[in-house]
Amino acid sequence: MNSKTQNKVAIGSLYGIAGLVVLILLALLGYILVSGVPQLSWHFLTAPGKAFLKGGGVGIQLFNSFYLLILAMLISFPIALGAAIYLYEYAKDNWLTTTIRTAIEILSSLPSVVVGLFGFLFFVVKLHLGFSILSGAFALTFFNLPLLTRSIEDSLRTVSDVQREGGLALGLSRWETVTRVILPAAVPSILTGVILSAGRVFGEAAALIYTAGQSAPALNFTDWNPFNISSPLNPMRPAETLAVHIWKINSEGIMPDAKAISSGSSAVLVIAILLFNFAARYLGKRLYKRLTSA
Amino acid sequence: MFVNNDVKKTMDMEDRHVIKLSDPDHPVILSTEDLHVYYGQKEALFEGDLEFASNQITALIGPSGSGKSTYLRSLNRMNDRIATVTGKIMYRGVDINQPDIDVYEMRRRVGMVFQRPNPFAKSIYDNIAFALRLRGVTGKHELDEIVETSLKQAALWDQVKDDLKKSALALSGGQAQRLCIARAIAIKPDILLLDEPASALDPVSTGQLEDTLLSLKENYTIIIVTHNMQQAARISEYTAFFNQGRVLEYDTTSHIFTNPSVQVTSDYVSGNFG
């Protein structure tokens, strides 16, 4: 076989493999959407669930998912940002940073069910937080922190070193250079990373089953006092999320339309994550234009 | 310390020619004494003893790897985290190569422009104004004025005066480099260090940049590293020739280019090596 044919065969097989991947993805996505979208209605998205009867919705689960996501992000983002700035802008390569990096690697490869069980023992039992949104948010922080730190560090890396030198040469301190020159330039990419990781957190189930719990008590959407037990904002109430809901009705759902609810919930989850991804790209680009006034 | 013996042998001390300055109109503003730079164990600059005259342009020339950029970057301590720099850097009678010097304050007096234009991802206006704001200059009127003067001094005002709010990233290479100069002079330094500022520019932009530098020397002392010998000859009063980590020759530019005292300098400026 001469090199020209060889090249053609190689390109052909690569196209084949790439096509196969796309095809599998599209098939999966298509199946979820085709079986799920017909179930969607305003009622389905807003009504509370029913345990034995048909016609329940996922309103509470949907709200729980977003609330938990926001709380988890509020906790994990500042920590990840600080860690990433330290690791990339300040730390020298020594045993300490090597240890931190290794810890991040290990933490990011931890199975999420292990994170969940750890969260159960530590937050739920030891710290007496119970099955609560707060326990879930802490568990998600553990799950999210390594990925977010890595992604913010990568964002900082995309800002060229000549920008750092430019800041320092103007008599700016390292801190001023980081906050005034580097971060603004990195914000679009950081934002993209945050939204993408939000998608992962949004779809997480295993880490939440034992921390945020599997029950969705009825909520009073007119009561916004976070200290009332029926308030949606109460962080100490158990909160089943959409992803946990899918897992639960598939394993023990006894309502007659369990399959339909599961398909509908899956579609909502997939659509939400797709929206996250598109939003990440769109906002990242918009923000970059805005900040650089290009 | 690690000493490169091979280099020592080939470098005869007799073969050096470094003048001391004595021009009363342009007193020495910056000088280095016994400056050594080490990258880890490797010595990149063996001794840099130079004096720089105020309000003049001094060119640092020499082949790649001769230590001229290393030397320049040591002058405002941009090498601090990268290399070890020993010796004295005297700026207006103060040794600025000491640990207790406020480097950030010092760099506001000794500004720097780099090889690759590095405008910030901000508007043209903010590129210049934001460092000033950090230092407490907040009056809109005052900022406007400084932005305008510095852009005029950098010969960029006429091209960008209507686009001050636009991104600096949209500027051409030559314009971006002049913006970097405007940014550097906006904080009113004494000395401007330029590290091959024209190496990424086309001939027209280079010409404009040189004109800018010539007009700037009225107010600033300029030290420029360049690979372009015509450039050094065109704009500088003094030229230092670096080779293998040493200053081999330092004299007026006309002396260096017409009648160099050291054979290696003569070879280099006539294009026989480098």
Report chain B residues whose CB lies below 8 A from the CB of A167: 120
Residue B271 lies in a domain: no
Residue B70 to chain A, least CA–CA distance (Å): 14
ipTM: 0.86
- Contacts of the segment B100-103: beta carbons below 8 A, 24+ positions apart: B101/B77, B103/B77
**A40-292 maps to CATH 3.30.160.20:** no
- Orientation angle between helical segments A183-202 and A59-85, nearest 10 degrees: 140
E strand residue ranges, B102-198 = 110-113, 191-195
Residue B147 lies in a domain: no
Per-residue pLDDT of chain B (274 residues; tens, 9 = 90+): 444 444 443 445 457 888 888 888 889 999 999 899 998 888 888 877 899 999 999 999 999 888 899 999 999 999 888 888 999 999 998 999 998 999 999 999 999 999 999 999 889 999 999 899 988 888 999 999 999 999 998 889 999 999 999 889 889 988 999 999 999 999 999 999 999 998 888 888 888 889 989 999 999 999 999 988 889 999 999 999 998 888 989 999 999 999 888 888 888 888 877 6
- Residue B48 sits at φ, ψ, to 5 deg, of -120, 105
Closest residue in A to B82 (Cα–Cα): A92
* SS3 at position B27: coil
Indicate the Cα dihedral angle B223, B226, B228, B232, nearest 10°. Answer: 10
Using alpha carbons, select from A247, A246, A244 the residue that is nearest to residue A266: A246
> What distance in Å separates the CA atoms of residue B21 and residue B27, rounded to the nearest whole number?
8
Per the DSSP assignment, residues forming a β-bridge with A30 are none
Burial of B108 (0-12, 13-18, 19+ CB in 10 A): buried
pLDDT tens by residue, A131-179: 999 999 999 999 899 999 999 999 999 999 999 999 999 999 999 999 9
Residue B174 lies in a domain: no
Using alpha carbons, select from A263, A255, A251 the residue that is nearest to residue A49: A255
> What distance in Å separates the CA atoms of residue A56 and residue A205, rounded to the nearest whole number?
21
Domain residues for B43?
5-117+188-266
> What distance in Å separates the CA atoms of residue B45 and residue B35, rounded to the nearest whole number?
7
- Residue B180 sits at φ, ψ, to 5 deg, of -65, -35
Interface test with A, best of B103, B112, B118 (most A CBs within 10 A): B118
Residue B140 lies in a domain: no
Question: Which candidate from B78, B104, B122 shows the least CB-CB separation from A292?
Answer: B122
Report chain A residues whose CB lies below 8 A from the CB of B194: none
pTM: 0.83
Beta carbon pairs, A and B, within 8 Å: 70
Residue B105 lies in a domain: yes
Report chain A residues whose CB lies below 8 A from the CB of B134: 172, 176, 180
User: DSSP secondary-structure letter at A121?
Assistant: I
Residue A155 to chain B, least CA–CA distance (Å): 14
Report chain B residues whose CB lies below 8 A from the CB of A292: 121-122, 167, 169
> What distance in Å separates the CA atoms of residue A169 and residue B108, rounded to the nearest whole number?
8
Report chain B residues whose CB lies below 8 A from the CB of A291: 121-122
Provide CB contacts within 8 A for A218, sequence distance 6+. A48, A60, A230
Q: Which two tokens stand for residue A84?
A: 């990433």
CATH code for the domain of B32: 3.40.50.300
> What distance in Å separates the CA atoms of residue A106 and residue A112, rounded to the nearest whole number?
12
Q: A167–B120: do the CB atoms touch at under 8 Å? A: yes
Domain count, chain B: 1
User: CA triplet B108, B112, B118: central angle to 5 degrees?
Assistant: 115
**Cα of B240 vs its chain's centroid, Å:** 12
Q: Which two tokens stand for residue A111?
A: 């199975």
Longest dimension (CA), chain B: 61
Closest residue in A to B116 (Cα–Cα): A162
Residue B50 lies in a domain: yes
Q: B116–A162: do the CB atoms touch at under 8 Å? A: yes
